[in-house]
Amino acid sequence: SQELEQSPQSLIVQEGKNLTINCTSSKTLYGLYWYKQKYGEGLIFLMMLQKGGEEKSHEKITAKLDEKKQQSSLHITASQPSHAGIYLCGADEGGNEKLTFGTGTRLTIIP
Amino acid sequence: GAVVSQHPSWVICKSGTSVKIECRSLDFQATTMFWYRQFPKQSLMLMATSNEGSKATYEQGVEKDKFLINHASLTLSTLTVTSAHPEDSSFYICSASVGSAPSYEQYFGPGTRLTVT
């Protein structure tokens, strides 16, 4: 199965600053999904990347998938308190809709 | 985005009893749903794939007789934890896909927190 590593494990950022979270796979990804989770709650879908070199943006969040489709980054510009939470990347194992999740990155925004 | 609901949101049960958790797709039909569990401060682990009208497919190490899955309709899957024990206490989350592999979006329910005393 896929092995996904996320870095950093936790991140404390002052409000207004930019930040980047990385997700690295041991294998080529068929699809890479980014979710946000607040403790004890479900996952909120952020973005899905499928093609090598693909980049998507939504509001202040941009996600990229490298050409080799083994690494993805999530970048938040001008962070806000509402961005706080746990960010999880999920990888599709062979295009069969089963997702393997990374270890998660806990983001804290300091006012 | 598509909406997936779960019921109950939390449940406390006594050791040895069974608990049923429902997962519904509210505004779309889902031939396939997925069940995950999450331990505190850990990531999600896929337990099984729920297939409408057929048997569920379980991941390695997941006891199918303990975690019974039924996918009776295109909008409802249920997970029953049978003879629950304290080690079954966890956060259970279901998901459903919109679109078809390999291009799809997968949406998650709000989760059910199970505590077995």
Q: What pLDDT digit, counting tens, does each position of A67-108 carry? A: 888 999 999 999 999 999 999 999 987 778 889 999 899 999
- Pairing, β A105-110 against β B10-13: unpaired
Rounded Cα–Cα distance for residues B82 and B93 (Å): 17
Rounded Cα–Cα distance for residues B57 and B47 (Å): 9
Q: Return the half-sphere exposure (C-beta side, CA atoms, 13 A cut-off) of residue A45.
A: 20
Q: Do B103 and A31 touch (CB under 8 A)?
A: yes
Sign of the torsion angle spanned by Cα atoms B7, B2, A20, A14:
negative
The pLDDT-based confidence of B68 (bands split at 50, 70, 90) is very high
Q: Do A95 and B32 touch (CB under 8 A)?
A: no
Here the tokens at position A36 are 């946000």
The pLDDT-based confidence of A1 (bands split at 50, 70, 90) is low
* Per-residue pLDDT, B110: 95
Q: Do A97 and B6 touch (CB under 8 A)?
A: no
CA B97 to chain A, closest CA, distance in angstroms equals 7
* Per-residue pLDDT, B101: 67
Rounded Cα–Cα distance for residues A61 and A77 (Å): 7
Best of A9, A44, A99 to disrupt the B interface by mutation (most B CBs within 10 Å)? A99
Which among B43, B107, B113 is the nearest to A88, CB-wise? B43
Tokens 């609901």, located at residue: B5
* Per-residue pLDDT, A49: 93
Q: Which residues of A touch B46 (CB under 8 A)?
A: 98-100
Q: Which residues of B touch A86 (CB under 8 A)?
A: none
- Tell which residue, A100, A37, A103, A32, has the closest CA to residue B111: A37
Here the tokens at position A74 are 């999530």
Q: Determine the residue of chain B that is closest to A105 in CA distance.
A: B43
The pLDDT-based confidence of A2 (bands split at 50, 70, 90) is low
**A10 exposed, middle or buried (CB, 10 Å; 0-12, 13-18, 19+)?**
exposed
**Beta carbons within 10 angstroms of residue B84's beta carbon:** 22
- Pairing, β B76-81 against β B19-25: antiparallel
Q: What pLDDT digit, counting tens, does each position of B27-66 carry? A: 988 888 999 999 888 889 999 999 888 899 999 999 999 9
Q: Do B104 and A97 touch (CB under 8 A)?
A: yes
Q: Do A97 and B111 touch (CB under 8 A)?
A: no
Rounded Cα–Cα distance for residues A43 and B3 (Å): 11
Which among A41, A99, A100 is the nearest to B111, CB-wise? A41
* Per-residue pLDDT, A40: 79
Give the single-character DSSP code of B48.
E
Q: Do A99 and B103 touch (CB under 8 A)?
A: no
* Per-residue pLDDT, B51: 85
Q: What pLDDT digit, counting tens, does each position of A18-75 carry? A: 999 999 998 888 889 999 998 778 899 999 998 999 999 999 999 999 988 899 999 9
Q: What pLDDT digit, counting tens, does each position of B6-27 carry? A: 999 999 999 999 999 999 999 9
